[in-house]
Structure 1
Amino acid sequence: MLASALRVSARRQSSFGAMNVFDREAKRRHRDRWATDPQAEKSDYLKEEVGYRLADRLFDIKRKLNTVVELGCGRGYIAQHLDQEIVENLIMCDMSSKVLDVARGNDKLNIRKMMVDEEQPLPFEKDSIDAVVSSMNLHWVNNLPGLFCSVFDVLKPDGVFTGSLLGSDTLYELRGAIQTAENELEGGFGIHVSPFVQASDLGGLLRSAGFTMLTLDSDMICVGYPSMRELMADLKSMAENNCVLNRKTHFHRKTQELAVKKYQELYGDDKGNIRASFHILSFIGWKPHESQPKPAKRGSATMSLKDLHKLHDKPAE
């Protein structure tokens, strides 16, 4: 166990210097504007839904969690659904102080708010947290391996890490429409939609950080919009607009107009509306503990796999 902990600690220290993909300062500004926009809550439907689903997963854990850390708390999409039957203390964290100002608490919980940058090692004692949760936030973190190792460090043995983030098939319609239009008018295309994590990569990252008993789920939430323009306006309003470092900063008007038409042609319905797909990856992983179920020893099986078809011939005991 000591050797394993040392390897995780070494990975944690080295991986926080990894290459950046996202402009974190741009994302902080996005979240600041989102927090101070009085109309932004109208665009929170996706985050509300995913937050509710993640809170529901916590109720499946058959024990009370004394201290839970939420990374990227937003307006409190998870906190509003919890009570003291499952969580005693909730630490709501976000990279934006303005978001923390508007984050909804919960009178049923002991709430504390902290400004935390997920790009740095988490500011909590080792083996001190019962659970870490995060909803619709981790897809903007540059270095997921480093963050996952940091989460592993602060969790107690048998602690749980669960979250939801946007996956690789998110907004494939928008990406395709814009790329088609740019290729046709400009002879090439830039990055207008953020790259998102693959489900297989997510599981590998969690295992590499040391988590066991992993569960991964993949869901698609499809939302209808009048046109591509309303979709892009909502993405900006919910602080989910692109912040890739080498993103294309100018979107020509003629290209936009053609992209709107292409989107409608490719993904529109007979009523003139379009759909946008949000690929939600949800996961749960546990920090190892001696009380957890162990796999059977190699060679302990009493029947060969090739004989499984004979099970129905075996008399009941």
Structure 2
Amino acid sequence: MNVFDRQTKRTQRNRTAHIKDYQVYDYIKEEIGYRVADRICDIKRKFNVAVDLGCGRGHVSKHILGDTVGTLLQTDLAEDILRQAEISPEVPTYKIHMDEEFLPFPSQSLDLVVSSLSLHWVNDLPGTFKQIYSSLKNDGCLLGALFGGDTLFELRVALQLAETERLGGFAPHVSPFTDVRDMGNLLSRGGFVMLTIDIDEIVINYPSMFELIEDLRGMGETNCAWSRKPKLFRSTLEAASAIYKDMYGNEDGSIPATFQILNFIGWKPDKSQAKPAKRGSGQVSLKDIDKLDSIKSQIDNIKNITGSDDKSALHLEEQLTKLRQATIEDGHGNKKN
């Protein structure tokens, strides 16, 4: 599948490196980069070798701490952006100019691959996941975030309606994004296990559609699909702006723009990882959780009457322990954090 013109995307992103106040446009990437770095801290282990795939200006890397990563490799398609990338003050960091679609890392050489708001421009996402899987050591981790399918739906609808009204048809002006329902399947096809996927939505208000488009250019996030139109007529843009404000506008005259973020984490299988319990192996029903207090009272009464070594009390105490354990385990027999 070849949906995106990667060379055009490289050019678009490199252009943003020459904007005088380029930091002004990085607000979304800065926020999501911080959140992704914070999720790394939630994993209680140290990764010896980590890769920040599509690092941009170091939105994740600069927040990585020395007690979570030993060595960090920053990579990006746009060389000018890569030169501007900030690094962690605590972790030795090396920069590599490369395309996320063609990973140069040897098999089983990495402990962690992290990516923030970069993989949505990859043509063959399943293929990239398979390359990442191959590069990771057993029990290695892939953690990241990318824009989801509902991102900028307001802009997409406004442009489509305006073009249909003016030209009798429309072309895609907002790039296609991965749907949350497909994300788990893509990671599973890549070989990853113990998957966790969740959604964040960030809604940002702009004075009008034109300020939104200007900011997307400044972010390097304008459309690079092969099927895109080379230009939009001014009359179409004005009509789209009016439709946008009429359909989604706020009471104060501003317009909202939705950015849907898919957060994901997957692991390369290893023997040390927790395995699902066998079907039918459960000994306690979750339906009995409401009986915890009753069972505890029975145990205390039996102990008071017969002593702590009574078999009935020990049996009830065993049931109570199993019930408590069931409340902190998920349906696969794995303990929740």
Please, what TM-score do these two structures have when normalized by structure 1? 0.90
- Partner of 1:245 in structure 2? 226
Match of 1:223 among 197, 200, 204: 204
- Partner of 1:309 in structure 2? 287
Match of 2:265 among 284, 290, 293: 284
- Partner of 2:325 in structure 1? none
The structural deviation recorded for 1:313 is 4.3
**Equivalent residue pairs, number:** 295
The structural deviation recorded for 1:64 is 1.0
- Segment drifting more, 48-57 vs 97-106: 97-106
Larger radius of gyration: 2
* Secondary structure at the counterpart of residue 95 of structure 2: strand
The structural deviation recorded for 1:308 is 4.4
- Partner of 2:63 in structure 1? 81
Equivalent residue letter for 1:125: P
Equivalent residue letter for 2:41: F
Q: Deviations over 1:56-98 (max 9, x none)?
A: 0000110111110011111000111112111111100001211
In structure 2, how many angstroms separate the alpha carbons of the residues matched to 1:256 and 1:244?
19
1:112 lines up with 2:94 in the alignment? yes
- Partner of 1:266 in structure 2? 247
The structural deviation recorded for 1:107 is 2.6
Query: RCO greater where, 1 or 2, for CA within 8 Å and sep 6 or more?
Result: 1
- Partner of 1:8 in structure 2? none
In structure 2, how many angstroms separate the alpha carbons of the residues matched to 1:46 and 1:118?
21
8 Å CA contact 2:62, 2:86 repeated in 1: yes
Equivalent residue letter for 1:65: F
- Partner of 1:173 in structure 2? 154
1:256 lines up with 2:237 in the alignment? yes
- Segment drifting more, 43-52 vs 78-87: 78-87
In structure 2, how many angstroms separate the alpha carbons of the residues matched to 1:161 and 1:313?
41
The structural deviation recorded for 1:280 is 0.3
- Segment drifting more, 49-58 vs 61-70: 61-70
The structural deviation recorded for 1:119 is 1.6
The structural deviation recorded for 1:139 is 0.3
- Partner of 1:185 in structure 2? 166
In structure 2, how many angstroms separate the alpha carbons of the residues matched to 1:229 and 1:158?
46
Equivalent residue letter for 1:148: F
8 Å CA contact 2:62, 2:89 repeated in 1: no
- 1:5-16 aligned at under 5 Å gives the runs none
- Partner of 1:39 in structure 2? 21
For structure 1, list consecutive stretches of 5 or more residues without a partner in the other structure.
1-18
Question: Residues 105 and 310 of structure 1: is their aligned pair in 2 closer, same or farther, counting only changes over 3 Å?
Answer: closer
- Partner of 2:308 in structure 1? none
Equivalent residue letter for 2:246: E
Equivalent residue letter for 1:197: T
In structure 1, how many angstroms separate the alpha carbons of the residues matched to 2:71 and 2:3?
34
- Segment drifting more, 160-169 vs 35-44: 35-44
In structure 1, how many angstroms separate the alpha carbons of the residues matched to 2:165 and 2:267?
48
In structure 2, how many angstroms separate the alpha carbons of the residues matched to 1:136 and 1:214?
19
Equivalent residue letter for 1:274: I
Q: Deviations over 1:172-209 (max 9, x none)?
A: 00011111111111111111000100111111010111
- Partner of 1:145 in structure 2? 126
In structure 2, how many angstroms separate the alpha carbons of the residues matched to 1:36 and 1:94?
16
Equivalent residue letter for 1:277: T
Match of 2:50 among 58, 62, 68: 68
In structure 2, how many angstroms separate the alpha carbons of the residues matched to 1:143 and 1:178?
27
For structure 2, list consecutive stretches of 5 or more residues without a partner in the other structure.
297-316, 318-337
Q: Deviations over 1:121-151 (max 9, x none)?
A: x111211111000001000000000000000
In structure 1, how many angstroms separate the alpha carbons of the residues matched to 2:244 and 2:89?
45
Equivalent residue letter for 2:142: F
1:129 lines up with 2:107 in the alignment? no
In structure 2, how many angstroms separate the alpha carbons of the residues matched to 1:313 and 1:46?
48
1:91 lines up with 2:69 in the alignment? no
In structure 1, how many angstroms separate the alpha carbons of the residues matched to 2:287 and 2:41?
38
- Partner of 2:330 in structure 1? none
The structural deviation recorded for 1:45 is 0.1
Equivalent residue letter for 1:312: D
8 Å CA contact 2:16, 2:218 repeated in 1: yes
- 1:187-202 aligned at under 5 Å gives the runs 187-202=168-183
The structural deviation recorded for 1:49 is 0.2
Please, what TM-score do these two structures have when normalized by structure 2? 0.85
In structure 2, how many angstroms separate the alpha carbons of the residues matched to 1:29 and 1:287?
34
Equivalent residue letter for 1:79: S
The structural deviation recorded for 1:311 is 4.4
